[in-house]
Each structure stands twice: as C-alpha cells, then as structure tokens.
C-alpha cells in the first residue's frame, strides 16, 4: 500500500506507483535561492568512497550521487536501464558459455564521456575499479578491504583498448548478472577514475601503489566527478555542497546547487521542513511520528512502501559462548519478530510482512518460506527454555548458567534510530526472560562497528536491489569482508559460490535457497522484515521521486532534479 499526500504526474514515467514529482510553485528551502535545494542524509557517511568495509553504507553512496558514473541501474519500476550518457552502446555479451571459452563481455564508452578535468573515460577506469574491489588474495591491491569481492574475484582480466573494456572471467566461471559489475548497485556504486592515480604518482599495476590510491580515494573529498554534479566543499561530519560539473556531457542538470546535510536526529526533520530549511529526504530508517507529521504538511509530497533494506539480528561468532548453536537457537527463539515489527510499524504501516527469506521478497517468484515451522523469531519463551535445558543450561535465579558459569552479559548494539532503539529494548526484555543480560550500546558509526565486529549481538539493515546473485556470498561466505560476524560453513561457502557462478538466474536462485536451508538451523542471522521506507519532498521540486530498487533512493536521478516554474 502506498500513501501519498500529493501525486503529481511525470511526463516520462506516469505509471510508476513509486515515483512522485511536483508541479506547483514555491519559495524554496530556507536560504536557498530559486535554483538550489537542501537534501538530508539521515546519518554520517564514514568515508569518501563506498568500496571499503567502513565506507560501505547507503549514506556514502547517496552522498556521491551525481558524482560517480555508472554503467546502468534499476529504475523505480523495476526495469534495468543502461547509462547511455556514459556508454556508446549497450554492453555486448561476447560469450555466455564457459564450456566454449572464457565468459566475457564488453563495455564501450561514448566518445563524449569525460571526467570533470576533461580526461576521457576509458577501460582503464573499469580495470582500476576492478582491482580495488577484489579481495587481498588476488594480489592486485595492498591494503584494499573491499566490502564485496565476489564479482571482482571472478574476473581473470580486463583487456582495455581506449574506450573499450573486455571483461573475461576465470576459466569455467560464469556470471548470471554480468551487467552489474560497474553499475549503480555495485560495490563502488559505479566506477572510479584511473588517471588520477597516475597524476598523483601511483602506478595502478603496482599493488602497494594502488593501495595508496585506494586509501587516498577513501580519505580525500573528491574534487573530481564523472556525473552531472561535483562536490565543491564539505566534510564527513556536517554536509557536502554540489554544483554542476562544467564538463558534464549529458543533459544540463536542473539545479545550480544542492546541499546535502548529514543529520541523524530525525526529530528535527519536521520543523526544518516546515520552516523551509530543508527540501526533502529519503531516510534509511522508518520513523512513524516524523512521517505522519510531514504527511500532513500542505506542500509535502510523500510516499511509503516496503523497501529494499531489511532489518536483521546477527551474532558475532568470535564470542566463545556463541560456538554453541543451541544457545544461538534459543536466543533467536526468544526474540519475537512480530512484536518488534508491530511496535515499530504496525500503526503507520499495518500491511507489514515478516521476512522469511534472506534473499527474496515475499512477492518474488523465487521466494521459499524458510521459517515455516521454525520456532526462531516467534518469541516462544517456553520453547527457548526447553532448548537451553536440553543443552545443559540452567537458571540460577534470574541468571542463565552453564556448568555453574554465568552466560553473558552480551553487548547488544545498533545505530541510534527510533526504530532500532525500540527494537533492541524489546530484544533486551525478551532475552531477560531466558536469563540472559543484554547491555544496549548504540553507535553513530555503523561502518566502523561492523568492520571491527565490535558487538556480541547486533541489529542493522542490508540494502539490496533486484540483483541478488552476489548477496549470499557477501552475507555468509567465510572469506567475505561483509560477513562481519565471522560465520563459517564449508557447505554454505560452496553454495554461495555456486550462486554467483550459476549459468542463469533460475539456477542461481535455487542455490541461494539451498544455502538458506542450512543457514536458518545454524541460527546466525535472524531476518525481521523489509523496513518500510518513506520519502518526502517539497512540491517545488520536480522530478524528485523515490527509487526503492536502489541504494541511491531518491537521489538516483539527481541530475534531473529541477524547480517548478515560479
């Protein structure tokens, strides 16, 4: 169900239920002039690029909207579109049968596609991005800690010839989602410039020097751009300001300046919007009070729907107590997912559904209910107690013990949002009923917390897209940099590798479901639900609408944002 305060027609995509635009005049946000807008990102980005584990968040990706070029992306209607500003032609699949030779495809850049310093985009940009995205074992980049290495590690080589790049996979490997490697949903959120490494004295073919370039990219505000906007000033603690890229080769961007504020205090959004200090946001976190308030503002365009970010609870497998799968199963059984979902979303989004598949949504043709008949997530305290008793645990007063030793306490961590605050408090109370103390410790730096596995039990969200083939390996493979809790299962490793190397999408989906058949009894990740995402914007902004198929959200088409006629 979608809720809107106003629905205004779009010339290009009027059929989209997720798209919103506006066509009324207005005065603009705060001190912004008639060609400016102020957009809120609801948390701090932790790096200047998104390839690294610490930088891998939607907040970094959205901060870079309009700056990073990419080869394609999913639009709000769920259709995949190649970026024909950047590309001269649609990518060409040269060979899709690894039995007939290496699986390979080609990208060719448009001759007008240039970086903001006038340097033409080339195959070398893709090659540099690939090497920085690969795992350390591949040997291309010393110190690179990519958050998602699966697609990159399958590549044997990228042969470049000026503006053409031919990507070849290793012998016998395939990729059911080959188009995705450098698109808006990839590990970098697009692709990065290679020529800046050389200009700064780094050879991208020297692993140590490429590592220095990688570190520089993540630590340095990008003064370069390959999109319609470039960042002209800012920092990672407050905001960035974007202005049009003078070398942009596509349609002229519609705004002269966009300020992106970093603000995790959602309680300030309503007053700031009403006072004209901000023009909109697409928060990664749901806040019923904020959405309901803004929905009632006359000049607000709003929408709400189930998004691609799904909340889940994970264990840190480095904690000795969690070596015992029975303890993990008991904890997940004591947690009441429906209570968490209903308390957070029931009033504002009563249509919510619990997530019973880690990879596929409930409306997917590949959906299999992996929690049917399982006590996990039910909040069944008696069942949880029986699991513990059979495993040799005892209650001494209100404290769970094993062989006379107290179990816990455990740190229970998450980011400091209204939804997650409510959730961890409920979890804390639910675990107390089985004699386990969970000490809540919130963080404002999700990237650092997960990268360092600085938690015992954690709740956070995964952001997805209609692409899925790399997700299982990224989530659960023992060598994945994004398997933050350190889960290890050889059979799951093999199945997730099979997902990414399947010959077609149907085969990939089958392997993914097989992996979940093992993962669920192993009690490593407990999905809650795909969180409803809300969006709001001042009606003075046109062509601003949410894209729930992308981590970029409403900023996915930032170059098309304009103001209504004054």
> Could you tell me if 162 and 527 are in contact, meaning their C-beta atoms sit under 8 angstroms apart?
no
The whole-chain average pLDDT of the chain stands at: 91
Q: Quick check: 273 and 294 in contact, CB under 8 A? A: yes
Strand 457-463 and strand 410-415: pairing?
parallel
Per-residue pLDDT reduced to its tens digit, 151-202: 899 999 999 999 999 999 999 999 999 999 999 999 999 999 999 999 999 9
CA 198 to chain CA mean position, Å? 31
SS3 (DSSP) at 468: coil
Nearest-CA neighbor of 551 among 41, 82, 126? Answer: 41
For residue 30, what pLDDT band results from cuts at 50, 70 and 90? very low
Q: How far apart are CA 191 and CA 69, in angstroms?
A: 6
What is the distance between the alpha carbons of residues 28 and 156, in angstroms, rounded to a whole number?
Answer: 51
Residue 5 has pLDDT above 80, yes or no: no
What CATH class does 307-531 carry? Answer: alpha beta
335 vs 100, residue with greater confidence: 335
* CA separation for the pair 546, 536 (Å, rounded): 9
Write the pLDDT tens digit of every residue in 211-268: 999 999 999 999 999 999 999 999 999 999 999 999 999 999 999 999 999 999 999 9
Contact criterion met (CB below 8 Å) for 379 and 339: yes
Rounded-to-integer distance, Cα 38 and Cα 48, Å: 20
The CA-based angle 345-348-351, given to 5 degrees, is: 70
Strand ordering across the sheet containing 457-463 = 229-234, 239-244, 257-262, 36-41, 280-281, 525-538, 300-315, 457-463, 410-415, 438-443
Give per-residue burial for 520-541: e unless 16+ CB within 10 Å, then b.
bebbbbbbbbbbbbbbbbbbbb
Q: What is the pLDDT of residues 383-415, one digit of tens each?
A: 999 999 999 999 999 999 999 999 999 999 999
Residue 28: pLDDT band with limits 50, 70, 90: very low
Q: What is the percent of the chain where pLDDT is above 70?
A: 94
pLDDT digits (tens, 9 = 90+) for 407-447: 999 999 999 888 899 999 999 999 999 999 999 999 989 88
pLDDT, residue 317, reads 98
Q: Report the 10 Å Cβ neighbour count for 241.
A: 17
3-class DSSP string for 514-530 = HHHHHHHHHCCEEEEEE
Phi first, then psi, for residue 10 (nearest 5°) are -110, 135
Q: Where are the domains of the chain?
A: 36-65+229-306+532-563, 72-219, 307-531
Q: What single-letter DSSP state applies at residue 119?
A: P
DSSP 218-258: HHS-----SSSEEEEEE-SSSEEEEEE-TT--SSPPS-SEE
Q: What is the DSSP secondary-structure string of 419-443?
A: HHHHHHHHHHHHHHTTT--EEEEEE
Residue 110 Ramachandran class (φ > 0 left, ψ -120 to 50 alpha, else beta): beta
Q: How far apart (Å, rounded) are the C-alpha atoms in residues 224 and 205? A: 22
pTM (whole model) above 0.85: no
Least confident of 396-410, 434-448, 459-473, 497-511: 459-473
Residues 487, 522: contact at Cβ < 8 Å? yes
Q: What is the dihedral of CA 81, 87, 90, 93, to 10 degrees?
A: -120
What pLDDT score was predicted for residue 207? 98
- CA torsion, points 269, 275, 278, 279, in degrees to nearest 10? 110
pLDDT on residue 308 = 81
pLDDT in tens, 44-87: 999 999 999 899 889 999 999 999 999 999 999 989 999 999 99
Residues 348-381: tens digit of each pLDDT: 888 899 999 999 988 888 999 999 999 999 999 9
Percent of the chain, pLDDT > 90?
Answer: 79
Asked whether 378 and 365 are in contact (CB, 8 A), the reply is no
The secondary structure of residue 215, as a DSSP letter, is H
486: left (phi over 0), alpha (psi -120 to 50) or beta: left
* Assigned token pair, 557: 């088409």
Q: At what angle do helices 505-522 and 490-500 cross, to 10 degrees?
A: 160
Give yes or no for residue 29 having a pLDDT over 70. no
Check pLDDT > 80 for residue 39: yes
Average pLDDT over residues 521-538: 95
The CATH H-level superfamily of 72-219 is: Dipeptide-binding Protein; Domain 1 (3.90.76.10)
Cβ atoms 299, 525 nearer than 8 A: no
Q: What is the pLDDT of residues 548-560, one digit of tens each?
A: 999 999 999 999 9
CA distances from 97 to 49, 180, 500 (A): 34, 18, 15
What digits encode the pLDDT tens for the residues 310-340?
999 999 999 999 999 999 999 999 999 999 9
Evaluate if residue 6 carries a pLDDT over 80.
no
What does the pLDDT read at residue 91? 96
- Which of 14-28, 118-132, 236-250, 355-369 is the least confident region? 14-28
| More confident call, 486 vs 10 | 486
Cα dist. 174→83, 334, 378 in Å? 23, 41, 39
Element (H, E) at 292: helix 288-295
Task: Work out the average pLDDT over 277-286.
Answer: 93
> Among 3.50.50.60, 3.40.50.300, 3.90.180.10, 3.40.190.10, what is the CATH number of 36-65+229-306+532-563?
3.40.190.10
């Amino acid at each position: 169900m979608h809720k809107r305060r106003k629905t205004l027609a779009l010339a290009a995509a009027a059929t989209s239920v997720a798209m919103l635009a506006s066509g009324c005049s207005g005065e603009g946000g705060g001190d912004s002039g008639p060609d400016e807008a102020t957009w809120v990102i609801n948390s701090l980005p932790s790096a200047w690029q998104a390839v690294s584990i610490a930088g891998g968040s939607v907040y970094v990706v959205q901060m870079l909207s309009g700056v990073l070029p990419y080869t394609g992306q999913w639009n709000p209607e769920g259709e995949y579109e190649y970026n024909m500003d950047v590309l001269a032609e649609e990518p060409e699949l040269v060979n899709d049968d690894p039995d007939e030779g290496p699986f390979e495809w080609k990208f060719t850049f448009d001759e007008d596609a240039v970086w903001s310093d006038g340097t033409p985009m080339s195959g070398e940009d893709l090659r540099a991005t690939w090497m920085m995205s690969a795992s350390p074992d591949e040997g291309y980049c010393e110190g690179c800690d990519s958050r998602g290495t699966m697609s990159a590690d399958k590549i044997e080589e990228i042969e470049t010839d000026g503006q053409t790049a031919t990507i070849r996979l290793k012998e016998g490997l395939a990729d059911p989602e080959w188009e995705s490697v450098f698109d808006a949903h990839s590990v970098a959120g697009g692709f990065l410039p290679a020529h800046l490494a050389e200009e700064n004295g780094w050879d991208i073919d020297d692993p140590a020097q490429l590592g220095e370039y990688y570190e520089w990219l993540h630590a340095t505000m990008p003064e370069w751009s390959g999109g319609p906007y470039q960042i002209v000033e800012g920092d990672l603690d407050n905001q960035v300001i974007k202005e049009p890229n003078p070398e942009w080769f596509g349609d002229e961007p519609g705004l002269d300046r966009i300020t992106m504020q970093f603000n995790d205090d959602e309680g300030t959004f309503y007053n700031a919007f009403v006072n004209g200090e901000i023009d909109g946001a697409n928060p990664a976190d749901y806040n019923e009070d904020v959405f309901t308030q803004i929905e009632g503002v006359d000049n607000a365009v709003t929408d709400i729907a189930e998004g691609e970010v799904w909340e889940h609870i994970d264990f840190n497998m480095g904690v000795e107590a969690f070596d015992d799968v029975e303890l993990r199963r008991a904890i997940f059984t004591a947690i009441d997912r429906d209570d968490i979902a209903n308390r957070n979303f029931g009033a504002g989004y009563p249509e919510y559904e619990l997530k019973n598949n880690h990879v596929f949504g409930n409306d997917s043709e590949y959906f299999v209910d992996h929690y049917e008949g399982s006590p996990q997530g039910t909040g069944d305290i008696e069942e949880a107690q029986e699991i513990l008793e059979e495993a040799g645990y005892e209650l001494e007063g209100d404290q769970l013990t094993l062989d006379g030793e107290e179990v816990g306490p455990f740190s229970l961590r998450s980011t400091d949002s209204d939804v997650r605050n409510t959730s961890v408090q409920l979890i804390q109370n639910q675990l107390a009923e089985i004699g386990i103390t969970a000490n809540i410790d919130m963080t404002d730096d999700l990237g650092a917390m997960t990268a360092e596995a600085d938690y015992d039990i954690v709740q956070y969200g995964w952001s997805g897209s209609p692409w899925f083939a790399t997700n299982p390996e990224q989530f659960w493979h023992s060598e994945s940099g994004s398997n933050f809790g350190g889960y290890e299962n050889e059979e799951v490793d093999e199945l997730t590798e099979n997902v990414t190397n399947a010959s077609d999408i149907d085969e990939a989906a089958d392997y993914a479901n097989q992996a979940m058949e093992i993962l669920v009894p192993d009690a490593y990740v407990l999905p809650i639900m795909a969180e409803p995402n809300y969006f709001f914007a001042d009606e003075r902004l046109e062509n601003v609408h949410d894209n729930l198929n992308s981590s970029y959200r409403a900023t996915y088409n930032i170059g098309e944002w304009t103001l209504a006629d004054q």
